[in-house]
Chain A
């Protein structure tokens, strides 16, 4: 079933896009990530112009995070104070990200920069997750008792001034730390079309030292607002948000996310983390190869 995308200016098979959204949604529901890191590259492979892909993938991540946020709010799994500070940083970061995006676009290096950031980020986080979950699986097999990890924030975070209390996170730290964290993730959201959950969650755990119960909910809360902002920025600057493409992706991904969430409740978390790590490393490896291999098209055309 072919359908014409009015902003991307080409026709696509609607079923393929819905299934793509569904597959990504399944993963996002299983692993609690937005899935933007998969949607954008897959859409580009399918032939959607990169700018339209990044701009429309952001709204898919918004949709995928909404139901998650509602579920976590009911469970009191969202620290609104911490979330608010992260969102504030994220909004400022996304505006700056939009400016960097246009600058790189004008110089013609946006695709290379996006690919390099993807390789570095996905590669390092994937490797960390893989080694951590593999260690956990081996420890459980040998029957050793779990090591009690002492929950505490990074010394750098402790040195920042203006401390305040974040009750639900169980923290007494400076709001500057989450503000800077939100700012950095906001820049990446605009540049890469990702929600940033897979950076935010480890950072909240290991840098800020937040209570595990509120980490995922608060991260989704931040993702919801910052990706909504990213859609707005793209709509007003690059004008590349294709609402038909976004609707098709959403249709698949929100359904897939619900199925994924049910599957996840039946699996062991450390196996899920290992599976996610493998997927992340595969994506990073594919993009790295793409940088080094001779590209299919040496020439590219843009309107001026």
Chain B
């Protein structure tokens, strides 16, 4: 969490440095289609629409021919995770051989942009704002050699990408008349609950000119929330109910079968 917020806190400072012109900077007015996502019995994921407007000072669009780009990042709550790596043991079977702990890896990360992020910003700026899955600050808790840390980070990112939890969508942001933008981000069903953030960045001439954030809350509701809470807080009662349920099912089926 701390790492994730740092660039945001620094953002006004950095923008001040990178835009020495006396003109007033543009402002972003972002919004999302859903501020609260409720997980219920048939939840298969959510399709978020992120949209907004770019407000230029005095309503004047810049009249040079440098392109304006928008990047939208949706991040899930950070998690402390343990990544294990399999290796072949004695040339016979695959077992978990080595491991690396990460203190704050985002549980979900999706980046949508109006063109590939590498074409907009240099590597240093990408790392500052954590733009792109290869620029994430994962904060490994290890003093393993850098080559090993890189290998683990690549493995983690690829694994998360395959399960749809780390997504890069270059070209997914649509800009209309230079002032309105929209992007769609698919949130899969297997995300954890918690507070998500949707950050929007306005990029021009290799610099981040404006940034704005909206929060999205994902939570279980109704029966799903009740079950998850009971399993956690009343474990013994929950277990007894599970056993009673299976005895009841088995007994009922036996009774029904005897009739026929």
Q: Which residues of A are in contact with B by a Cβ distance under 8 Å?
A: 1-4, 6-7, 9-11, 59-60, 62-67, 70-71, 108-109, 111-112, 116, 228, 231-232, 234-236, 239, 241, 243-244, 246-247, 250-251, 254-255, 257-258, 261, 291-295, 297-304
Q: Mark B235-260, 1 if CB is under 8 A from A, else 0.
A: 11011111101110111111011000
Q: A63-B250, A236-B235 are in contact. Are A2 and B245 (CB under 8 A)?
A: no
Chain A residues within an 8 Å CB radius of B158: 299
Bound complex: CA A13 to CA B237 (Å): 28
Chain A residues within an 8 Å CB radius of B252: 254
A contact face: mostly helix, strand, loop, or mixed: helix
Q: A302-B81, A302-B84 are in contact. Are A232 and B239 (CB under 8 A)?
A: yes
Do A67 and B250 touch (CB < 8 A)?
A: yes
Chain A residue nearest to B244 in the complex (CB): A228
Min distance, Cβ A117 to any Cβ of chain B, angstroms = 13
Chain B residues within an 8 Å CB radius of A64: 250
Interface residues on B, range: 35 or more
Partner of A67, one of B81, B95, B242, B251: B251
Do B250 and A298 touch (CB < 8 A)?
A: no
Do B94 and A294 touch (CB < 8 A)?
A: yes
Chain A residues within an 8 Å CB radius of B160: 301
Chain A residues within an 8 Å CB radius of B251: 66-67, 70
Bound complex: CA A148 to CA B17 (Å): 95
Supplied contacts A298-B85, A299-B155, A301-B82, 11 more A-B pairs, CB within 8 Å = A3-B41, A6-B231, A10-B189, A232-B240, A235-B231, A239-B231, A246-B246, A254-B253, A261-B257, A298-B86, A300-B159
Min distance, Cβ B197 to any Cβ of chain A, angstroms = 20
Bound complex: CA A111 to CA B93 (Å): 12
Chain A residues within an 8 Å CB radius of B249: 63, 66, 247, 250-251, 254
22 CB-based A-B contacts, threshold 8 Å: A2-B44, A3-B41, A11-B43, A11-B44, A11-B45, A62-B246, A62-B247, A66-B249, A109-B96, A232-B243, A241-B242, A243-B231, A243-B242, A243-B245, A251-B249, A254-B252, A254-B254, A258-B256, A299-B155, A301-B84, A301-B160, A303-B81
